[in-house]
Structure 1
Amino acid sequence: MSNAPAVPTGRIAQLRQAYRNTKQTDPKLGWMLLGVWILTAAIVATLSLLLVGTGWLGIVLTVLVTLTTSSLATITVFGRRAERSMYQQAEGQLGAGGAALSMLRGRWDVKQAVGFTKQQDVVHRVIGRPGVILIGEGNPGRTRSLLASEAKKHQRIVGEGTPVTTLVVGRGEGEVPLPKLVKRVRKLPKAIKPAQQTDILYKVKALDAMRPAAPMPRGPMPTSMKGARKMMRG
């Protein structure tokens, strides 16, 4: 049975949890958000009063627009700082790369730990318009060897016409830092059509069927990132 803390399910509970987590690495968060709200409110209220006047209707519209705009600005700033804090807390933790990849939205198929070693080095797989992307995390030497092996297996399955890209999560030379991983994957050039992507998914299922179950870690870090993902998606 996992000892990981439960992820809050309610929207308000998720926001509170995200705020507490973010303050651990961003102690001035509260003052920052308050400053954003006040500054935005002052600017919006001034512009609104100049445009619609100071009559009762103008005041009502100004209050509504000011509250809405200030709240949206504050939530936007909070979301960005929460995401940055989340990556800071997760970086270096086992399974962080897979948890980050699960934040990919749209037509991305993410499968964690398609390859692994006894030392818990893992390779995750993403299939999208760039083709097949294999992402390794763990000991750099073992991970690169594991990536090379997985790349050969996937290339045989999907054919030479489909690119198989390999990335390593880390701060070393030629590696991708965790906070930039999702952005790096999204920026890979498109190489296949949506119909081809569907065909590739069917092909790799045969490869996955021959694999043993991956012993993915279930510690507090992946659970924390999962909760933050839910909070930001709504």
Structure 2
Amino acid sequence: MARKDNAASTANPGRLKQIALTYKMTRKADPKIGLVIGAVGIVTFGALLGIGFWIGHPVYLGILGFLLAFLAMAIIFGRRAERAAFSQMEGQPGAAAAVLDNIGRGWTTTPAVGMNRSQDVVHRAVGKAGIVLIGEGNPNRVKGLLAAEKKKMARILTDVPVHVFIVGTDEGQVPLKKLRTRMLKLPRTLTGPQVTATNDRLRAMGDLLSNMPLPKGPMPKGMKMPRGGPQGR
């Protein structure tokens, strides 16, 4: 019992410290976060307490109002904290990968399946909606990376839908804060076994490409590849 009490006492301060740190970070991008959360709590509690007085049960409705007010404050805080985090990550390399890490169950994500020297990158996610390719970076260069990735997958996957998103704020692009929502709204066309089979084939394709022998240096000019085996003397 003592060990459990010690573990709980050390866990709670850690959680409170994390919440406080998240609040400070959120307040930098959203200065009104405190006023909004306070207003939500007061309105929710006040509404339930007023109903309690009206029906003659202020104590019960007051307790319920307190619990619902706390829940509403936590929900609003979580949403605004997430929005503030997205606004701070917007435009930074790898921001979409961070969103994919928190997309939830049913998705298998692979960051940086395609990249160039300019740090434009393509991430991949596989779920019941099919394959989703997410590009980050210069739109013109990213389009080439996305086309190359689609062409590579078309060799082994012909019956799986492929969706393409480019993260950004320009027309035709998907803002970072809306990426997860857009992906979750995609129509589900694959079954669980089909998703597993798709992941297995993509994994096999990646293993095959990684195991291909690569030349250690440039081929000397004027050198010709032999057409046959070694000839006898």
User: TM-score when scaled to structure 2?
Assistant: 0.80
1:206 and 1:121 map into 2 onto residues whose CA distance is 24
2:69 aligned with 1:70: yes
Decide which moves more: 124-133 or 11-20: 11-20
1:189 is aligned to: 187
2:214 is aligned to: none
1:86 and 1:129 map into 2 onto residues whose CA distance is 27
Gaps of 5+ in 1: 1-8, 213-234
CA contact (8 A) 2:45 2:69 kept: yes
- SS of 2:126's equivalent in the other structure is strand
2:124 is aligned to: 125
2:198 aligned with 1:200: yes
| Corresponding letter in the other structure for 2:180 | V
2:15 aligned with 1:11: yes
2:137 is aligned to: 138
Deviation at 1:196, TM superposition (A): 0.3
Task: Output aligned runs, 1:10-89, within 5 Å.
Answer: 10-51=14-55, 53-54=56-57, 59=59, 61-89=60-88
CA contact (8 A) 1:155 1:164 kept: no
| Corresponding letter in the other structure for 2:187 | P
2:18 and 2:208 map into 1 onto residues whose CA distance is 38
Structure with greater contact order relative to length (CA < 8 Å, sep ≥ 6): 1
1:209 and 1:146 map into 2 onto residues whose CA distance is 20
Deviation at 1:64, TM superposition (A): 2.1
2:173 aligned with 1:169: no
1:48 and 1:109 map into 2 onto residues whose CA distance is 48
Gaps of 5+ in 2: 1-12, 211-233
CA contact (8 A) 2:52 2:62 kept: no
| Corresponding letter in the other structure for 1:185 | M
User: TM-score when scaled to structure 1?
Assistant: 0.79
2:29 and 2:208 map into 1 onto residues whose CA distance is 42
- SS of 2:155's equivalent in the other structure is helix
CA RMSD of aligned residues (A): 1.7
1:226 is aligned to: none
1:179 and 1:88 map into 2 onto residues whose CA distance is 7
Larger radius of gyration: 2
2:150 and 2:52 map into 1 onto residues whose CA distance is 58
2:207 is aligned to: 209
Deviation at 1:211, TM superposition (A): 5.4
2:6 is aligned to: none
1:204 and 1:129 map into 2 onto residues whose CA distance is 15
1:124 and 1:90 map into 2 onto residues whose CA distance is 16
| Corresponding letter in the other structure for 2:72 | A
CA contact (8 A) 1:154 1:164 kept: no
